[in-house]
Amino acid sequence: MNDEDIDELASDLRVSLGQITRRIRAETSFPLTQAMVLGRLHREGPQTVGDLAAGARMRSQSMAQAVNELQALGFVKRLTDPDDRRRRYVLLTEIGHAAIEEDRAHRDTWLSEILAGLTDDERDLLRQAAPVLARIAAS
């Protein structure tokens, strides 16, 4: 594969993955920032608002607003660090865990229905591509 072919593949992947990402986001029950907060807390555990903001590359004030909205919905709560009373952690509540699990199940069902409409060969091709896409995402 020459450089032009690689550039064309890169462009095609960027466009396709962008469209898939936007479509998956459209299936979520939460605004983007809230979904990101819930997802990070679910995957990584309690974090400060500053940590969440840094991970999302956004201002702490904007992240605090998203956390406040989630707290008002009962999806997260804040706990004071017993070792440093100035530090407060945000963590998922049971309601928050249930909401993120339900949201993920909905998106998984949506994607499963689409995959079911593909041919066996297309699904096999995607099964082979999944680890490669994961490596690209991790780099």
pLDDT in tens, 74-116: 999 999 988 888 899 999 999 999 999 999 999 999 999 999 9
| Angle in degrees, CA 30, 92, 139, rounded to 5 | 70
Name the residue range of residue 75's domain: 3-138
pLDDT at 95: 96
Q: What's the CATH code of the domain at 8?
A: 1.10.10.10
Mean pLDDT of 59-86: 94
Could you tell me the pLDDT band of residue 29, with boundaries at 50, 70 and 90?
Answer: confident
Q: For the chain, what is the domain count?
A: 1
Q: How far apart are CA 27 and CA 81, in angstroms?
A: 35
Could you tell me the pLDDT band of residue 136, with boundaries at 50, 70 and 90?
Answer: very high
